[in-house]
Amino acid sequence: MINKTVPNVTQALKGVKNNMTLLLGGFGLCGIPEKAIAELVRLEVMNLTCISNNAGIDDFGLGLLLQQKQIRKMIASYVGENAEFERQMLSGELEVELIPQGTLAERSRAAQAGFPGFYTPAGYGTEVAEGKEVREFNGKMHVLEKAFEADFGFIKAWKGDEAGNLIFKGTARNFNPNMCGAAKITVVEVEELVSAGSLDPNQIHVPGIFIQRIFKGTGYEKRIEQRTVRSKT
């Protein structure tokens, strides 16, 4: 049987170096690769280009890398919860590329499928389309977007098996599945790791063919980005 497991996060991130481009799954703080991010901080790799839906918050998620000035360029859709991100962007310390959320998902999926690019109407007539090829399809203008080219992809799944087959839970399915296989090496951390053949094939969201390394993480914080509670009255 195929076995893609590695014993820990240190082995999972073997080969990560300065100046690399990284894909990181998650939506807000949901489904982010917490252990991989913590290891990136420990490794002190620098000049990273990070592609993720958002940049975490000041003291969690990708905010931890921003604190250490490890990110050179951030490619994201939403960055409004991170004061340090704002400071670095406005001061010119951090290069930022903002793209529509659907385009981010599709650029990941195109890389996963092996397509070099695709046309989308999203962003036409805005700064997003500047410098990009534009074509008309069925009377509507579309912008050419290229697939991401990443060295590593870091994914968080709820459950996986030794062969790399994955099951996600809830909102963690927003970007994680599309990023699997979209980089040269895809690393997955899971809350529950089971033997190959244990998962119901009908419940698998991403097949193991897209995964190179998988490990079991422990002690996930699972923070809530914006907690809203009902008043006692």
Any domain includes 2: no
Any domain includes 222: no
pLDDT of the residue at 183 = 98
Q: Which pTM does this prediction carry?
A: 0.93
Any domain includes 212: yes
Instruction: Give the residues of the chain that fall short of pLDDT 70.
Output: none
Assign 3-state DSSP to the chain and report helix, strand, coil percentages, each to 5.
25, 30, 45
Domain assignment of residue 76, given as a range:
9-114+149-196+203-216
| Residue 85, phi then psi, degrees to nearest 5 | -60, -50
The total number of structural domains in the chain stands at: 1
Any domain includes 223: no
The CATH number given to whatever domain includes residue 159 is 3.40.1080.10
For 161-184, how does the pLDDT look when each residue is reduced to its tens digit (9 = 90+)?
A: 999 999 999 999 999 999 999 999
pLDDT of the residue at 226 = 76
Number of H helices, E strands in the chain: 6, 11
Q: Contact at 8 Å (CB) between 4 and 192?
A: no
Bridge pairing between strands 183-194 and 213-216: parallel
Any domain includes 48: yes
pLDDT of the residue at 229 = 86
Any domain includes 73: yes
For 18-60, how does the pLDDT look when each residue is reduced to its tens digit (9 = 90+)?
A: 999 999 999 989 999 999 999 999 999 999 999 999 999 988 9
Report d(CA 198, CA 94) in Å as an integer. Answer: 44
Any domain includes 44: yes
3-class SS at 226? coil
Any domain includes 32: yes
